[in-house]
Every structure is written in structure tokens, then in C-alpha cells.
Amino acid sequence: MKHFFKSTLVVALLFTAGLAYSQEPLPKGLTESEKSILSEFQFTGNRVTDPPAGPVRTMAEWEEVEYLLITWVPSYPNILRQIVEAAIEECKVIITTQNEASVSSYLTSNGIDLTNITFMDEDWDSIWIRDYAGNTIYSDDVGELALTDWIYNRPRPNDDVMPSAHAALVGIPIYITDTGTNDLVNTGGNFMSDGMGNAFASELILDENAPGNPYGVSAKTEEQIDGIMNAYMGIDNYIKMPVLPYDVIHHIDMHMKLLDEETLLVSEYPDGVADGPQIEANIEYVLNNYPSVFGTPYKVKWIPAPPSVNGNYPDTGGSYRTYTNAIFVNGTVMVPTYRPEVDEPALAQWQEMLPGYNIVGIDVDNPGENIIASLGAIHCISHTIGVEEPLWIVHQPVAEANAGSTILLNAMIKHISGINNATLFWRQEGQSTYSEVVMSDEGEDQWSAVLPIPNENINVEYYIEAVANSGKVLARPIVAPEGYWTIDVSSLSAGDWAEQSISGAYPNPTTGTVNFSLKQIEGSVQVSIHNLLGQTLFSSQLEVANGVLSIDLNPSWSGTLFISFAGEFGTVNRKVIKL
């Protein structure tokens, strides 16, 4: 990967030099004065770089973090202090400020150790660093660390060039979509990646780069936008959802969070309230059209969005309160909080979803520092830079197993130096120590282990640890052994187990391909397709019934089809509607 870095000051029309020190902090959305100058502001510039020379991968938020980034805006010292206090236990922190002495004194007086803190003396316009900071990418999955920077969709020139300052400070390359046909407007709050080439956004990304956009960037089709995201960030599948009617800024981080490669945490409203109906429609759209990277449907966890003290939601004048606007920083997750009676169950849910993580609640809704009223929370005012030479472990957890069965666990594990060994650690729930199973190298970065499930109807907890040839050691979950995945162990007959372990068809109805998730079914399985007349249209035998089964339905077939799975367990039937 070539190094492209150009540090160029952008001179903004109609902007005063003292913007960063204005009495009122800028909101996440546009001010009225900013709206009035959009058509005259110069959003594009000469900081353009070519895309990376080879394939790249965008880091997922739960991966290893080297730096947490914030911009110190004096209006929110207590919130920022709490972020720094939690982050320095996990990584280094870069604070943008032109008043290092004052910020240092404030932090020190509040008991904050400055050892892991670096101050960056750069001009700034706003606190919303998630939207304007660069995003971490790696060449060839785990190779050279770099940043990608888009055009910020606000007339805030100091914010827009800050990613270049971050890259220069830590000494890494940066790739910028700033000029020509690659002049892409985008914001970090409206971007979420699984680290595997899939990413989510609202359709704001289409609107802001459409013909007649207010930023003066070239008009782009969705295909062209997808091409830029692929070239600069390695995004192969860019999932875009309709914007929400009451979300003023249309950033998905205010209502959705990826917890891992296959799990979506989504804000939930009472029936028919605010953006609840559109959020539900969007999630249904995703589930019906896009499988996770593992080929299985996304798992969805809902977390209530709290109203104001007076019971108001965004459709009745309440702020857009959310528990999804959280940030991973290695073993810590910082979550916005509002008031104890609604926070306690939300934080408990976070802890249940992510055992072993340090869940830190930070108040964003108090009279002194009510940042939620400015349309953002914790994720919006923080960003991260990943580590050099990450040890990357990807595994689809096994959620269920039958007592006395044998299951196969697989993981993709990569490091630039190669992997020396990998180990599966497991224990029954209630035990204090883990047993070990050496994982086998299956080639092409794939590792596997066979886990015999004990006969007792007791859940199993497990994690995976890998050692790189360089000597680096890392586990997944990253907080292991305190954190782990849990296998729900039950005692079922072979038939009942098969019935539970063969998913319903998805998508259904379908116009072509239909998928089924098969979970650790022992023995071979005969798969057959029949029509309403009982005629056999297709039949095939599976020797290994584990993973995702995809069937391409014949274009001539239509209407109701029956898929049968037959084995030692008996027969399981599923119905598919072929359009």
C-alpha cells in the first residue's frame, strides 16, 4: 500500500476565524447560519488521494483499538472527562485542544492520569468527531494500518481536515475522497461496518451525493457510491435503509448498533410511536434481503428508547434518546445514560449481552451538559484508530447444542506474521476453570475444534485464543476469560433437535435462491423439494448438515414448494413460496 498524505489548509468562505471559540457549541445538525451558506461553501479541495493500491478492509468497532479520539469542547468537560477516564484504562487517547494547559489541569485535578494522553494542538469547529474523523482500514485484511476520510457534510473546515492531522500525528497513511469523481460526502455516524466487507447506512448517503446536492460534489448513482466505498474501504455490500421521519440528522448510530458480525442492537419504541414503525420496517427489510457474513439471518436485539421525564418521544418534542449510541474501546463499552429508572435495565441488558465487558454509563441528559438536546451522544463525540498488526479472529458462536452431542467449532484467524496456534477454552456453567482443546489448522486461515458436549443438561461457556508467530496473543471475545460465548444445552430427542436446528426458509417468499441454517445435525441428510401435487422436483444428500444450505430454485417452479430434510432423526418439512 502506498503512502499518500497531504496536509493542506482549507480556506472557507464566509467563516470567521473564531468559530471554534464561539460561546455556543455547534450542534450535530446544521445551524441556520450554516444552512444559509451551504451553496457558497467550498466543500471539495485539493487534498485528494488515489484509493489504496490493493484490497483493504474496514475495521469493526469491537476490534483492537490503539487510540480513542475526542475534541475537547469546553461546554462539555464532565462528559469528556468520563470518556477519557474510561478510555485510558484501555488505550491511548488523543485530545484535540488549543488549550492544553487548561485541559491538563482539569483532568489532573479530577484524578486523571495523563500518561496515556496526547494533546493535539489543531483548530476545531465542533465536538462531533465521529462524523468528521477518519475510519480505520487495513491492507489485505491485517496489513498496513491507514485512515480513510470523506468530505464532511457540514461547512466546518477545521473539522474536515482533522483526519489528516490525526494521520500525521500517529504516522500512518490517509486516503481522502475529496476531488473528481471520488468526491464522496459521508459521515461516521451514518456508517457501521462488520469488519467483513458489509456496512450499513441510511439513504442519506444517496441524497447527499445525488444531482443537485448542496455540497457541489459530482452527482453519483448508488453503483458509483458503492464503487468508491469498495475502493477506499473494502465495502462489498453497502446496505442502505430509508431515513427516519423524526431523526433530524438521519444517522443510523442513533438507533442501531452492530454488537458483532451477526447481531444488531436496535432502539425500540412503543407501538406506533415516533420512528418505531419505520425502524421496524427497515429491520424487516434487512432480514428479508441481506444475510449476515455467515450466510445466516441477522440476530436482532431490541433495547427500549427512553422518553423524556415528561414522557415525550421525538414525535412529541422529546430528544432522540438512545442506548445504541455507544462505543467499544477494547474491553470497555461506553453507553449514554439519562436517569436511573430507565438506565438501570438498559445497562443490565448491555451487560447480559456482553459478559465480561466493562459497561460504563455516561450521563448525556443533565441540565449542565445536555448534549443529547444537540442531537448526539457518546458515539457521536468519540472515534477510534485501530492497532498496527491486529490479530483478527472471526467466529460464529454456536448458540445451542444437544446434551451428549459433538459439535464442530470453526474460526478464521489472521495475523500478518501468521498464526502459531489456536486453542478453544470451555467449561460448564458454574465452573471456575476452563478445559482446553487444541484447534486444528485447516488451511487458508481456517481453524477448527471438536467439542464434545457433556451429557448433563448444563450450559457450556467458551472462548477462542490465538497466538501469532510474532508472539502476540489475543482472545475472542476480547475480554476472555471473563467474557465468553454461551451454548444453551438441552436434552431433546433426535427428531425434536432436528426440528429446532433447521431454520425456516429465508428469504421467503423468494424469487430464486432460498437458504436454511443447519445447526450441528449428526449424520447425513437427504434434502428433497416437492410441489403441491407431491411430485419430487429435486433431491440431494448432505454428508455434513452444519452451516448454511443455499438452494437455487428452478425458474420454472412457482407457488408453494415443500422442502423436506430426512435423516436418522426422521423428517423435517419446511414450506417456501416461489414467486
Residue closest to 474 by CA, chosen among 524, 436, 419, 552: 419
Q: What local confidence, expressed as pLDDT, does residue 491 receive?
A: 81
Backbone phi and psi for residue 353, each to the nearest 5 degrees, phi listed first: -70, -35
How far apart (Å, rounded) are the C-alpha atoms in residues 195 and 414? Answer: 13
Q: Which pLDDT score is estimated for 39?
A: 86
DSSP 429-489: TT-SS-EEEEPEEEETTEEEEEEEPPSSS--EEEEEEEEETTS-EEEESTTTTTS-EEEEE
Ranges of beta strands (E only) in 271-387 are: 299-304, 327-329, 332-337, 358-363, 383-386
What is the C-alpha separation between 23 and 25, in angstroms, rounded? 6
Q: What is the pLDDT of residue 184?
A: 96
Which SS3 state, helix, strand or coil, does residue 75 take? coil
**Nearest Cα to Cα of residue 215 among 241, 185, 235:** 185
User: Which residue matches cell numbers 436446528?
Assistant: 501
DSSP code for 275: T
Buried b (16+ CB within 10 A) or exposed e, 510-548: beeebbbbbbbbbeebebbbbeeeeeeeeeeebeebbbb
If 0-12 CB within 10 Å is exposed, 13-18 middle and 19+ buried, where does residue 210 land? middle
* Bridge pairing between strands 536-542 and 525-530: antiparallel
Q: Could you count the other beta carbons within 10 Å of the beta carbon of residue 18?
A: 7
Q: What is the DSSP string of 23-63?
A: SSPPPSS--HHHHHHGGGS----S---PPPSS-EEEPPTTS
Which pTM was predicted? 0.89
One digit per residue, the tens of pLDDT, for the chain of length 579 reads 333 333 333 333 333 333 444 448 999 999 999 999 998 999 987 666 789 999 999 999 999 999 999 999 999 999 999 999 999 999 999 999 999 999 999 999 999 999 999 999 999 999 999 999 999 999 999 999 999 999 999 999 999 999 999 999 999 999 999 877 899 999 999 999 999 999 999 999 999 999 999 999 999 999 999 999 999 999 999 999 999 999 999 999 999 999 999 999 999 999 999 999 999 999 999 998 999 999 889 999 999 999 999 999 999 999 999 999 999 999 999 999 999 999 999 999 999 999 999 999 999 999 899 999 999 999 999 999 999 999 999 999 999 999 998 899 999 999 999 999 999 999 999 999 999 999 999 999 999 999 999 999 999 999 999 999 999 999 999 999 999 999 999 887 888 888 888 888 888 899 999 999 888 888 889 999 999 888 889 999 988 888 889 999 999 999 999 999 999 888 889 999 999
CA–CA dist 122, 120 (Å, integer): 6
C-alpha 138: how far from chain center: 16
How confident is the model at residue 481, as a pLDDT?
Answer: 98
What is the distance between the alpha carbons of residues 448 and 221, in angstroms, rounded to a whole number? 42
Give first-to-last CA distance, the chain, whole Å: 46
* Burial of residue 271, with CB atoms counted within 10 A of its CB: 0-12 exposed, 13-18 middle, 19 or more buried: exposed
Please choose, from the candidates 184, 178, 181, 175, the residue with its C-alpha nearest in 3D space to the C-alpha of residue 58: 175
Beta strand extents in 83-214 (DSSP E only): 92-96, 117-120, 135-139, 145-149, 174-176, 192-193, 198-202
Residue 130: per-residue pLDDT: 98
Alpha-carbon gap, residue 49 to 148, rounded angstroms: 10
Q: Check residue 510 and report its DSSP letter.
A: B
Provide the residue type at 170 as one letter: V
Cell reading at 404: 451428549
- Cis peptide, bond prior to residue 314, ω within 30 of zero: no
Please state, in angstroms and rounded to a whole number, the distance separating the CA atoms of residues 58 and 114. 30
Round to whole Å and give the CA distance between 139 and 54: 7
pLDDT of 543 reads 86
Helix (H) / strand (E) element for 346: namely helix 340-353
Task: Tell me the C-alpha distance between 528 and 537, whole Å.
Answer: 8
